[in-house]
């Protein structure tokens, strides 16, 4: 149903186009210009819960990456693995590499509010009280990112690209 990796040496990403967690490693691979194969895990029909996919990802979530006989789970762990193994977007110094990992950890904690708003707007409407709880958290997280990257060279067209992508997809302003 979901397909096997092309080869042990190739990068095979299992994910869903509706998942922001899947989007992050897809974007990384595209920006790095790395060849990879993508295997769709259709979340709407429950492929993530099938024995076939659970054999790849014990938690039944996306994304998953297979490469060189390894299976790597969780979006930010995949990003760290790709940076370490390919050298693309890897920090030049030990300090920069640790700071990148700090950002990945921060993102996992704080961008969750943005992801929840996006999911509510696109797939499953939450109660207004719940959205009201997450909206200030999402705005604060995005403002923090905006300020942190101000003046930095980032591998996207605009420093505000991430903010506007997430807000647009969440139906916010």
Please write the tens of the pLDDT for every residue from 119-150. Answer: 776 677 777 787 777 788 888 888 888 888 78
Q: Is the pTM of this model over 0.85?
A: no
Res 8 pLDDT > 90: no
Which pLDDT does position 14 carry in this prediction?
97
Q: Please check whether residue 25 is in contact with residue 37, taking contact to mean a CB–CB distance below 8 angstroms.
A: no
Structural domains of the chain, ranges and CATH numbers in brackets: 11-86 (3.40.30.10), 111-170 (no CATH)
Which pLDDT does position 142 carry in this prediction?
84
Q: Please check whether residue 159 is in contact with residue 150, taking contact to mean a CB–CB distance below 8 angstroms.
A: yes
């Amino acid at each position: 149903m979901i397909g096997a990796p092309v080869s042990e040496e190739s990068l095979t990403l299992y994910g869903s186009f509706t998942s922001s967690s899947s989007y992050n490693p897809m974007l990384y691979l595209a920006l790095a210009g790395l060849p990879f194969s993508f295997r769709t895990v259709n979340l709407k029909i429950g492929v993530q819960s099938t024995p076939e996919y659970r054999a790849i990802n014990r938690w039944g979530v996306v994304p998953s990456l297979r490469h060189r006989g390894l299976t790597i789970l969780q979006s930010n762990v995949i990003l760290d693995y790709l940076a370490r193994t390919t050298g693309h977007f890897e920090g030049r110094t030990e300090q920069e590499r640790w700071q990148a990992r700090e950002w990945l950890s921060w993102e996992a904690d704080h961008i969750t509010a943005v992801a929840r708003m996006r999911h509510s707007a696109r797939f499953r409407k939450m109660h207004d009280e719940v959205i009201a709880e997450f909206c200030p958290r999402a705005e604060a997280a995005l403002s923090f990112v905006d300020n942190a990257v101000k003046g930095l060279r980032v591998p996207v067209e605009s420093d505000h690209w991430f903010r506007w992508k997430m807000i647009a997809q969440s139906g916010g302003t």
